[in-house]
Amino acid sequence: MAEQALILAAGKGTRMRPLTARLPKPLLPAGGAPFLEHQLRALAEAGVTHVAVLVGYRMREVHEALGDGQRFGLALDFLVQEEQLGTGHAVAQAAGKLDGNFFCLNGDTLVTTETLRALTSAKSTHAMAVAQVADCSSYGLVKAHKGKLASIIEKGAEGPGKINAGIYRFAPSIFEALEMLERSPRGEFELTTALEAVAKQVTVVDVEGDWLDLGRPWDLLTANALLLAWMEPSIEGTVEEGVVLEGAVHVAAGAIIKAGSRIEGPVWVGPGATVGPNACIRGATMLGAGAKVGGASEVKNSILMDGAKAPHHNYVGDSILGRDCNLGSGTKVANLRHDGANVYAIIRGERVDSGLRKLGVILGDDVKTGINASLNVGTILGEGTIVGPGRVVSGSWAAGSRIL
């Protein structure tokens, strides 16, 4: 049994911009908590008592968010990776810090306790989890023979297949394989190369239950829906008369749901958040601390991070609003193309198929829109962007843009 774990949470998460411009990817919120907290709770349920968290980008924020781990029933240590030189280099930072078998998780991977237990049950020195996907072109395709690892194809594979899920159970001998690594053609020390070097000692197991990794901003919406599906309803805040609640709804302490509002769960309303009067929220939606969905506004399948506001006559669907965003009265978000085809978005200058028929907008922190602004499907606005009254906006805009 592995009572220790290593979480790799040092990367910059550039593909998740603008959400990660001011917030490390493992702290992005989903299902009522930072993503990393869900990993810690799954590890604790699997019998882990000690977790080393590898940090780098915005490390202070990660440390402050997690503390010493006592509220998760864990002892936490923080290891610093000053320079990100690949996954093999990342795992190697734990050499001498972990004694015995340990789980290793990518910090952007949704993991279940059942998958961790399956790794523990594997009768081999090491074990890795794989996930079945419809298109493995963006992942490392894993080939196995009689239950043991045969190879990992990082590029060029297409179509359905089983891919590296970023969840492992290692014995201390993995560090010996890591010491032998040389830089790959892209200049990094690859964990997958070390795994192939000890392939006969690696059992391949299928993930059990939900799995995903946060590769693109809209993946956070999928994670939110998966996590909220398991949420237990609870009312700790204030719900005024005339409110209709259906399904699983969590109203945190200090939150208020005003008269005439309707919430169809699963919906998580954070501490100090405000809904209504006469607002509508449909699942799966998360409102962060101090967020607001105001009069005659509707929000559907979205995440409003801490302090984000859709306060007057707004529609927000299948979208993510960063911290302290504010939509002017009448601002509307389009989330469906007229032809019903998948929505595309521009990520790092590349036009990317989201794989989704419904996708609204991704707004970085502190985005402001004027009255009656219209935001088109797949629009991405960098942090601090200002949109003027009545403007119709599409595409991807850099931080601090002025669309007036």
Task: Tell me which residues are annotated as active site.
Answer: 312
Distance CA 220, CA 79 (A): 26
Q: What angle do CA 204, 206, 208 make, to 5 degrees?
A: 145
Question: Counting Cβ atoms within 10 Å, is residue 117 exposed (0-12), middle (13-18) or buried (19+)?
Answer: middle
How far does CA 342 lie from the centroid of its chain? 21
Among candidates 318, 242, 320, which has minimal Cα distance to 276? 242
Helix (H) or strand (E) holding 312: strand 309-312
- Tokens 């749901």 belong to 257
288 token code pair: 């962060």
Torsion of the alpha carbons at 337, 215, 55 and 163, rounded to the nearest 10: 160
Instruction: Give the other-Cβ count within 10 Å of 114's Cβ.
Output: 14
CA distances from 219 to 38, 156, 395 (A): 16, 23, 19
Among candidates 104, 122, 137, 127, which has minimal Cα distance to 195? 127
